[in-house]
Amino acid sequence: MTEPAFIPFARPDIGQAEIDAVGRALRSGWVTTGPETRAFEQELAAFLAGGSASAGAGADLHAIAVNSATAGLHLALEAAGVGPGDEVIAPTLTFTATVEVARYLGADAALVDVDPVTLNIDPARIEAAITPRTKAILPVHYGGLACDMVAIHAIAARHGLRVVEDAAHALSATWRGSQIGTLASSATVFSFYANKTMTTGEGGMAVTRDAALAQRMRVMRLHGISRDAFERFQSRTPAWYYEIIAPGFKYNMTDVAAALGRVQLARLPGFAQRRRELAARYHAALTGLPLILPADAPPGDVHAWHLYVIRLADEARVTRDAVIQALSDAGIGASVHYVPLHRQPYWRDCYGLRPEQFPVADRAYQRMVSIPLFTAMSEAEQDRVIAALRAVLR
Ligand SMILES: *Cc1c(COP(=O)(O)O)cnc(C)c1O
């Protein structure tokens, strides 16, 4: 008997159209930031605008393509004026990229606990963490479920704080009918890392409605140069002349990545639909097991389903590690999102953090497993995951 094929936790969905587009970009003679990147930025802004309930929500959207979401978060905080001594408030249940960028700028991260139902940052905890040094709130739309942005924007307005959304999981998610990326935050940052809801290999996009922030991010994306290479190439003024107006970064997206991204973006509605179908199938099949299933979006809103995170309920008689081992024995990949930052040596020791300060995230962490969810997953593959979970949890 042959072993059934290994089912990974995630797998990018790349077809011939992506391969053709990358080939065209390579043959075009302009492989770095250029026409493909411009088009990708415009198409992403149009996608966000088109998917929003409020008329004209995206008309003034600026999209800045970068080589990772981490770069985009760094640019967004820099442009928002976060600097030495400032504090940014973020959830502990996230990837380190959310807050490492604050440290790049000499600022501090104030980590807070999450809501037990959504696992998103708890607005009440944000309020309690505000100090005179607080400059920004960094909500993370965990797993692709939008945070309570009404509550977060209200707190930000009351205290004069910036909001920068870490939307690494949330491209195609909505909040109160509007696409994440079109809300009244300073900036929103998407990731196109290999396992996200669409990919450019590595890449990200910062989106803002603030023209001044957009301009600053564009300049800082490429060495602090006042005009990028493609602009100079196209312009009537001499192409060799440029001005350095700040010590910027090297965060631009290549046209090779953007060409891949444009095809992925065109397929995104289909990807999102497939993720919703797979999540609904998991919901139906796993109900009744000793599990806490991930919260769906509120009625009328859309969950991006980057992750499907199950948590062991009190009645479960197995440990999280035993579940992951059983899945592994059945040829199924799983993961944990995340070892909360308060348990990571750097963050723990930087701020003297203890698990008791984050009871919800800490308990969730002990009991959580991210199970396979990717667009190319077949129902037969999903049924194998379901059967393996039933066997270990029965
Ligand atoms: C993936 C991820 C990032 C970083 O994205 P990159 O594009 O890999 O830099 C940031 N925040 C969260 C929550 C993520 O999951």
Helix residue spans in 160-224 (DSSP H): 211-221
* CA of residue 192 to ligand 1 center, whole Å: 8
DSSP one-letter code for 75: H
Closest C-alpha to 172, from 306, 28, 357, 39: 306
CB 272 within 8 A of CB 304: yes
Q: Cα–Cα–Cα angle for 382, 384, 387, nearest 5°?
A: 110
Tell me whether residue 250 is one of the annotated catalytic residues. Answer: no
Instruction: Return the best residue to mutate from 145, 166, 192, 336 for the ligand 1 pocket (most ligand atoms within 8 A of CB).
Output: 166
Sole residue written with tokens 């290549």: 254
In the three-class reduction of DSSP (H, G, I as helix; E, B as strand; rest coil), residue 141 is classed as: coil
Amino acid 6: pLDDT: 97
The residue ranges of every structural domain in the chain are 16-112+119-265, 267-393
Which amino acid type is present at position 339?
Answer: V
Q: At what angle do helices 97-104 and 69-79 cross, to 10 degrees?
A: 40
Q: Which CATH number fits domain 267-393: 3.30.1300.10, 3.90.1150.10, 3.40.190.10, 3.30.70.3170?
A: 3.90.1150.10
Q: 213-232: string of b/e by CB count within 10 Å (b at 16+)?
A: bbebbbbbbbbebbbbbbbb
* CA of residue 202 to ligand 1 center, whole Å: 10
Q: Which CATH class is domain 16-112+119-265?
A: alpha beta
DSSP one-letter code for 2: P
Q: Residue of the nearest CA to atom 1 in ligand 1?
A: 168
The pTM (predicted TM-score) of the whole model is: 0.96
Q: Which of 196, 209, 221, 311 is catalytic?
A: 196
Pocket lined around ligand 1, Cβ cut-off 6 Å: 68-70, 94-95, 97-98, 140, 166, 168-169, 191, 193, 204
What is the rounded CA–CA span in Å between residue 365 and residue 357? 14
pLDDT along the chain (394 residues), means of 10: 85 97 96 96 96 58 98 98 98 98 98 98 98 98 98 98 98 97 98 97 98 96 83 70 93 98 98 98 98 97 98 97 98 98 98 98 98 97 98 95
